[in-house]
Every structure is written in C-alpha cells, then in structure tokens.
Structure 1
C-alpha cells in the first residue's frame, strides 16, 4: 500500500479545472450513491462539476482561496482541497472541498490536505474553519470528528435536484 510520505501537494491552476472536476465527480459518484439521485450522479454530475470548476478557477478573488492537488510521487493525482476566506462569515474560513479519491483513501491524503488548509487559514490570521457535510455521509462525519471538528448546526440545501440537509462542522485553529 502507498504510504502518506509519498504525497506531494501542489497549487492548482486554471488549467487544472478539468482535473479538479473529474476528481470531484468521481468522489461524489462513489460517496453519494445512497444520498443523491442516480440519474444526477450518472448523467449530470460530470458536466455540472466541469462548469463549476471552470468558473471557480477563473473567478476573481483567487487571493482569498487556496486550491491544492495531492499527488503521489508518480505524479498521479489522488485528491484535492479548496479552502476560502469568507469575509464577514461568523464561522471563519470555509473548507469547501476535501476529497481523496476512493482508491486512495486511508493513506493520509485527507489528513495532509486538511493540515494544509489549517496552516493556510492560520497564516491568514484566522481563528476557525468550517465545512458542510451531507447528512448521512457517515464516513466523512466520522473522519472530521476524529480530526477534532465539532458539529455546530445544520442547514437546508439543494443538490442533484433534491432537497438535502447539510451539517456544519467547525474547527478552532488553536485546537492542535
């Protein structure tokens, strides 16, 4: 099995938007099978995520955002993180995306990406991060709780053509 020390992180560029979209789609297709409609995951998610990442990576305000791609020493991409400062947010910095590709979960990708997001937020002078996870995504919830994140509420959302509940978790940066 691949060891975590073979991982490297690199900043994503606009040219990486298709790669980010492909990883995001693959993650959702594997993780959300029981949470989102099959039709969305099988026929719509690829195009939807491609449009999302193209727009996101081209959008102004890149200085408020960090997007990193995790790669094995072979250059194989295995995950990514996107964290963004949210001016005026009562919750702090948004950890908007944290994805380790299914075939590479359990080797430290998520932890490494999360630490990079936390370090970046600290360097920005922030005191807290927050994220949303789909209600019912038990493996992700367990992962975040093992990393010291705490539940702080829920909000209605809409994803894949259905109404969902997003659980908000927070992480105090002084919690080491």
Structure 2
C-alpha cells in the first residue's frame, strides 16, 4: 500500500521490489535515472548531440526545482528499487482544475526493463490519484516512442490529442493520453 497523500514516506515492499516516496536528497538519483532512460528511449528520435551533450545538467536543473516541490505537496515522486538499487522513477502532479492528474515522468533504467517496475510504478501512481479524488490521469508521450505507446495502451490509456513542442533542438510531436479512474 502506498502512503496516503501528505503522509510520511513509508516504504512499500513486494519482494524484492520496493517503492518509496522520493525525498529532496534524491535529486542526483532521479536525475541519473531520467538521463539514462532518455538516452536509451529517445535514441533515433532526438539528436545524438543533444542526448550525448549536457542532458544530465539540464535534467539536474529541472529536478532540483521539481523534486522539492513534489516532496512538499505538489504531487508524488516515487523511486522503484530492487535490493536497494534505484532502477525506476515516476512523478505525478496534483490534479488540475479538471480533476486530472498529470503523470509527468515514468522511467525505468534500460537494464531493468521487463521486470515489472514500470507497471508497479504506474499502479502506485494510479492508486495515489484515486486516493486524491482525481477523476482521470493524462500524460504526453513522444509520437515515435512505440514502446511507451504500447505500454500505456496495454494498460487502458487512450490517445486524446497531439501537441508539437521544441525538445532537443527540434520540434517533436507528442501524443496526449488519458485514463479514466
């Protein structure tokens, strides 16, 4: 069972997988996982120069701002571990005015894919969103990220739109997906 929104960080274990709420001290850990995930998942989608360049510094700047806000009540940040090793992360923002929670990040290190971490993380975020009285969830996924699209669709998420935005020095298309809770 996940901690109630606003409760202290209490680990939840499904042996040997552990999900725990991230703390502000986890900035470097989540940055490392986020960077490694992007470098793997977005290879061939985003320019190599961007992925191999200052990506980690960019992600660190983002997480140094975002993670303390999540920890202080703006949402939820989870880390998935196996035998104490951080292998995945998820973060979600509190429900918006429409009652929809944004699943802002879901990343599993490439070597740990296929071990159920992504499913455990997304299940925990969905449970948290329900406990927070959200009506739905939404996310954006790059249109060329077939693996992520397949993962979300297999879990009942439905495409509801598309946006274009700059990322990595190019304009990318991202699909909006929604899930009714």
Q: Normalising by the residue count of structure 2, what TM-score does the alignment of the two structures yield?
A: 0.88
Q: Decide which of 17, 39, 51 is 1:29's aligned counterpart.
A: 39
Per-residue Cα deviation, 1:8-63 (whole angstroms, up to 9, x for no partner): 00110111011101000000000000110111100121110011101112337831
RMSD: 1.5
Equivalent residue, structure 2, for 1:10 = 20
Equivalent residue, structure 2, for 1:76 = 85
Length, aligned pairs only: 168
Do 2:34 and 2:59's aligned partners in 1 also have CA atoms closer than 8 Å? yes
**Which ranges in structure 1 are unaligned for 5 or more consecutive residues?**
none
Do 2:70 and 2:77's aligned partners in 1 also have CA atoms closer than 8 Å? no
Cα separation, 1, equivalents of 2:34 and 2:127: 23
Q: Decide which of 24, 29, 42 is 2:52's aligned counterpart.
A: 42
SS at match of 2:19: strand
Cα separation, 1, equivalents of 2:72 and 2:170: 30
Equivalent residue, structure 2, for 1:92 = 100
Moved over 2 A (4+): 58-62
Cα separation, 2, equivalents of 1:161 and 1:85: 29
**Cα shift at 1:86:** 4.1
Q: Work out whether 1:146 is the aligned partner of 2:146.
A: no
Q: Decide which of 56, 64, 67 is 1:54's aligned counterpart.
A: 64
Cα separation, 1, equivalents of 2:163 and 2:70: 27
Cα separation, 1, equivalents of 2:130 and 2:29: 27
1:131–1:70 Cα change, 3 Å: same
Per-residue Cα deviation, 1:69-121 (whole angstroms, up to 9, x for no partner): 0000x211110000111432x47100000111110111100000000000000
Cα separation, 2, equivalents of 1:21 and 1:54: 9
Q: Normalising by the residue count of structure 1, what TM-score does the alignment of the two structures yield?
A: 0.91
**Which ranges in structure 2 are unaligned for 5 or more consecutive residues?**
1-13
1:60–1:33 Cα change, 3 Å: closer
SS at match of 1:36: coil
Cα separation, 1, equivalents of 2:71 and 2:89: 19
